[in-house]
Amino acid sequence: MRLPLVGALALSVFMGLGTTVRAEPPGDPTAVKEVDGKWFDAKGDPTYKIQADGAVDWYTFSGYRRYHSECHVCHGPNAEGSTYAPALKNSLKNFDYAEFVGIVIGGRENKQAGNDSVMPAFAENKNAMCYIDDLYIYIRARSTEAVGRGRPEKKAEKPAAFGEAETKCMSAK
C-alpha cells in the first residue's frame, strides 16, 4: 500500500463515519511540486497539472477512468451528480483532501425528507482505495473546470512509479 492510504487509514480512526468536523475548503489547486509524475499543491495535497497543450497528468486521467467505474453509477458522469447522489465537482469545493479520504473510507449518510442517501464505506475496495489520490485529483480538476466533461484527450505517459504502486496495492492481501 502506498503512503497516502496509510495516512488516510489513521485519519479515519479519528474521523469515523458521518463526521461533522468543520471542513476546510481545499485551497489553491496550483501544482507546485512533482514526485514521480504526481503533483502536489502548496499544502502538500495531491493536485492536477494541465500542460499548455491541454495534456493532463497521468493521475488526472487515471482518476477519470476509476471515477467512471466506481463512482459514476451513483454520482453521475463527469462528477456532475445524478438524481441519486450529489455532484462531487461541487461537493469538493467544501472540504479538503483529508476529509475526502475520510468519507471514501468510512462512507456517509445524508438524511433529507423522502430522500435519504447512503454512501458505502470503500475501505475494503481496492478499486477505489488503490486510486484514492487519482480520484481526488480528477474530481478536484472537475471542481475548478480545469478539466472539461468527458475523457481527457491528451495525457502524460504512465509514470513507472504508478505502475509499481498499482501492482503492489492491487495484489496486496
Partner 1 sequence: MHKLLLSTSVGILALFGAGVANAADELLELQKNPKDWVLPTGDYANLRYSKLKQITTENVAKLAPAWSFSTGVLRGHEGAPLVIGDVMYLHTPFPNIVYALDLNNEGKILWKYEPKQDPSVVPVMCCDTVNRGLAYGDGKIFLAQADTTLVALDAKSGKLVWSVKNGDPSKGATSTAAPHVMKDKVFVGIAGGEFGVRGSITAYHIKDGSLAWRGYSEGPDSEVLLDPEKTTYLGKPVGKDSSLKTWEGDQWQIGGGTTWGWYSYDPELNLVYYGSGNPSTWNPKQRPGDNRWSMTIWARDLDTGVAKWVYQMTPHDEWDYDGINEMILANQTIGGAARKTLVHFDRNGFGYTLDRVTGELLVAEKYDPAVNWASKVDMDKSSPTYGRPLVVSKYSTEQNGEDVNSKGVCPAALGSKDMQPASFSPDTGLFYVPTNHVCMDYEPFRVSYTAGQPYVGATLEMFPPPGDSHMGNFIAWDARVGKIVWSNKEQFSVWSGTVTTSGGLAFYGTLEGYLKAVDVKTGKELYKYKTPSGIIGNVMTYEHKGKQYVAVLSGVGGWAGIGLAAGLSKSNEGLGAVGGYKALSDYTALGGVLTVFSLPDYALPIVAPAN
Hey, is 84 helix, strand or coil? coil
The 8-class DSSP code of residue 147 comes to S
Residues 52-81 that bind partner 1 (CB under 8 A): 64-70, 72-74, 76-78, 80-81
- Point out which span in 6-14, 29-37, 44-52, 144-152 binds partner 1 (CB under 8 A): 144-152
- Point out which span in 4-12, 36-44, 93-101, 109-117 binds partner 1 (CB under 8 A): 109-117
Helices 160-171 + 58-66 axis angle, to 10: 30
Least distance (Å) between residue 5 CB and partner 1: 15
Q: Which residue has the cell 511540486?
A: 33
Residue 70 near residue 127, CB atoms below 8 Å: yes
CB closer to partner 1, 94 vs 117: 117
Binding flag, residue 146, partner 1 (CB under 8 A):
no
The helix (run of H) or strand (run of E) holding residue 142 is helix 132-143
Distances (CA, A) of 18 to 79, 86, 87, 116, 170: 21, 16, 18, 13, 27
CB closer to partner 1, 87 vs 146: 87
Nearest to 77 by CA among 133, 158, 151: 151
CB closer to partner 1, 31 vs 85: 85
Which parts of this chain interact with partner 1 (CB under 8 A)? 64-70, 72-74, 76-78, 80-84, 87, 107, 109, 114-120, 122, 124-128, 149-151, 170
